[in-house]
Amino acid sequence: MDTTTTPTTLPLYARLSLTTIGLAAFFYILYIGQDILVPLIFATIIAILLNPVINFLCRKGMNKVVAILLVLIVALVAIGALMYFMGSQISSFSESMPELKQKTNAIYNDITTWASQKFNVGKPKIAAWVDKTKGEGMNNSSAVIGETIGTIGGVLVLVFLLPVYTFMILFYKPLLLEFIGRLFQRDKHKVVAEVLMQTKVLIQSYLVGLMLEAALVAVLNSAALLIIGIKYAVLIGIIGALLNIIPYIGGLVAISIPMLLAIATKEPIDALWVFIAYIIVQFIDNNLFVPKIVASKVKINALVSIIVVLIGGALWGVAGMFLSIPLTAIVKVIFDRIEPLAPFGFLLGDNQPEIGKSVFNFKYPIKKKAKLKVVKEG
């Protein structure tokens, strides 16, 4: 009696259903676990970024715990100095709020007059509509304030947890690497080591390139705003550079802030100059800084980048937008090393197949014009 069994293959619709359910469950876990996962991912990235400095200090004879604490303290002091500078700029910016409010009211009166003349609507009616809109906004303000307080509380928790998580990851790095190694058979250790090495190099080079790009964009933004004569040019330039880190979406927000400030404090023509200046900066950034400094480290095509940024924003907000690109790059590294998933790694990349060398080389038949036969009359 033949006892051999043949493996059963699920039909296509069953496989698609299971895959869809699995993806839905995966993204749901990512969403509900964001308070735990986001700090851990940020801490892991920071630990990978700081690890070369700690290794250097340890090679020089410094105790591992002391090296980790020293590097973390220096990093916190640098971040604190940046926050102090931006805080002082924001403080001086708040002192100009009465002037900005007065200019905004004047612009509002001009717009009201124009709308009244253009659409033949009385100013009292427009004012009543604006007051109604303000009232509806105030009714919802309590919920907004509650959400804001919750967000600030989450940020404070994140600020205090990040150094602790980063210290723990750096201290227990040998234990974590040993654990990852024991998850796989010995013959797979070489591939796992290559994936870990590529991931480390990718994160380090990507983040260093991103910080360098942000610094260059901040300098260009600030210089352009100073030339135009916009107040708080350095503050707005730095904010614009930080927003520019968020792919595709941050640049749009970054350009709107100085334009609104130019309209409120100067003349509308200055807003146009700000727009032109930022377009030039974006052109330099997208065609020089990003290809040479950032994009050369992360080989993700534009279509996938836009999709993962939107998914990251829907799952984890701004943090998800920032993390989406490096996490997708890490996924690509893993996919490229697993043969069944290699096609998906290729899909994430930006290597276009050469013309004529694609798997599907479609050739459309060209209808040939019928040749007219000339019949010679005898």
**How does pLDDT run across 102-122, given as a tens digit for each residue?**
766 666 676 777 666 666 666
Least confident segment among 66-75, 219-228, 260-269: 260-269
DSSP, collapsed to helix, strand or coil, labels residue 363 as coil
Q: Using only C-alpha atoms, what is the Rg of the chain?
A: 29
pLDDT of residue 155: 57
Percent of the chain with pLDDT over 70: 72
Does the pTM of the predicted model rise above 0.75?
no
pLDDT of residue 175: 92
pLDDT of residue 168: 92
Tell me the C-alpha distance between 59 and 45, whole Å.
22
What's the total number of domains in the chain?
1
| 52 found inside a domain | yes
pLDDT of residue 363: 58
* pLDDT for 70 beyond 90: yes
Q: Yes or no: say if 236 and 230 are a contact pair by the CB < 8 Å rule.
A: yes
pLDDT of residue 282: 86
- What is the pLDDT averaged over residues 192-205? 84
| 118 found inside a domain | yes
* Selected residue with higher pLDDT from 290 and 4: 290
| 98 found inside a domain | yes
Residue 53: how many other CB atoms lie within 10 Å:
15
pLDDT of residue 124: 67
Confidence of residue 137 (pLDDT cuts 50, 70, 90): very low
* Selected residue with higher pLDDT from 202 and 227: 227
| 69 found inside a domain | yes
The secondary structure of 141-180, three-state, reads: HHHHHHHHHHHHHHHHHHHHHHHHHHHHHHHCHHHHHHHH
| 362 found inside a domain | no
Tell me the C-alpha distance between 372 and 175, whole Å.
83
Where in the sequence is the domain holding 59, given as residue range(s)? 33-128+155-183
Mean pLDDT of the chain: 77
* pLDDT for 85 beyond 90: no
| 285 found inside a domain | no
Confidence of residue 183 (pLDDT cuts 50, 70, 90): confident
Exposure string of 353-373, with b = 16+ CB inside 10 Å and e = fewer, is eeeeeeeeeeeeeeeeeeeee
- What is the pLDDT averaged over residues 89-114? 68
pLDDT of residue 171: 92
Confidence of residue 71 (pLDDT cuts 50, 70, 90): very high
pLDDT of residue 285: 85
Least confident segment among 87-96, 138-147, 320-329, 358-367: 138-147
* pLDDT for 10 beyond 80: no
* pLDDT for 330 beyond 80: yes
Tell me the C-alpha distance between 308 and 301, whole Å.
11
Most confident listed range (59-73, 187-201, 256-270, 302-316) = 59-73
Q: Which residue has the tokens 């299971």?
A: 18
Tell me the C-alpha distance between 263 and 237, whole Å.
17
